[in-house]
Amino acid sequence: MKNLVTPNNAYRLLNHGPTVLVTSAHGGQRNIMAAAWNMPLDFDPPKIAIVIDKNTYTRELMGASGTFAINVPCRAQAELVVQVGSSSGRELLGKSPDNKFEAFNLPTFAASKINAPLLQGCVAWLECKIIPEPHIQDTYDLFLAEVVAAQADERVFSDGRWHFEGRDQENLDKLRTIHHVAGGAFMSIGDAFKIGA
């Protein structure tokens, strides 16, 4: 059900601007947060840029591990995107459960090249290694990273293309990527169209 995405097609997972979830892990701790401010940065090897506020627990785990994962959530997960986006993993430390995955009952699976867990139910996953650029990290909370592995849900991404239309439209609609505006207001991605040949 999950297809590997070739490096030269990895940018296409983010090219249309979805809001994403960032997962990270270090020293037995792990976290997940929402991030609307992300974009591709290069084709092959694929690179991405993402903004991660310096006050977040994710930032701490990213800095310590040098890695993180981008998980592309879908319409069916919108509520959990708001949940993990409006709570801090740091505040759970020392409590039980001590992390958002258990607190919100989020099933994960292992990444192939990094330690961060990947969230089940998402429609794409990009494993990222941070490219050290301390000045822009410190000044703008801006991180650049190389995508070292990528996969996607074959029901909605294959042959290098998203396709959210087809038989069983009701279920495909639940797999559409979501695009945050502000304050819990989102839009799902809509109809596909093609210009030119």
Q: Is 134 in the site for a copy of itself (CB under 8 A)?
A: no
Name the β-bridge partners of 126: 70, 150
Distance CA 36, CA 19 (A): 4
Omega within 30 of 0 (cis) for the link into 73: no
Q: Minimum distance from CB of 31 to a copy of itself (Å)?
A: 21
Q: In this chain, which of 2, 3, 7, 41 binds a copy of itself, going by CB under 8 A?
A: 41
Closer CB to a copy of itself, 109 or 140, in the complex: 140
Q: Minimum distance from CB of 136 to a copy of itself (Å)?
A: 6
Q: Is 78 in the site for a copy of itself (CB under 8 A)?
A: yes
Q: Is 81 in the site for a copy of itself (CB under 8 A)?
A: yes
Q: Is 12 in the site for a copy of itself (CB under 8 A)?
A: yes
Q: Which of residues 177-196 bind a copy of itself (CB under 8 A)?
A: 179-182, 184-196
Q: Is 97 in the site for a copy of itself (CB under 8 A)?
A: no
- What is the amino acid identity at position 17? G
Place of tokens 């986006």: 85
**Residue 12: both structure tokens together:** 């296409």
Distance CA 74, CA 155 (A): 12
Of 80, 78, 98, residue with least CA distance to 90: 98
| Contact between residue 84 and residue 100 where contact means Cβ atoms under 8 Å apart | yes
* Residues whose CB is less than 8 angstroms from the CB of residue 182 and which lie 6 or more positions away in sequence, other chains included: none
Q: Is 164 in the site for a copy of itself (CB under 8 A)?
A: yes
Closer CB to a copy of itself, 110 or 182, in the complex: 182
Using CB under 8 A, list all residues that contact a copy of itself. 12, 15-19, 36-42, 47, 49, 51, 75, 78-79, 81-82, 133, 135-136, 140, 142, 144, 160-162, 164, 176, 179-182, 184-197
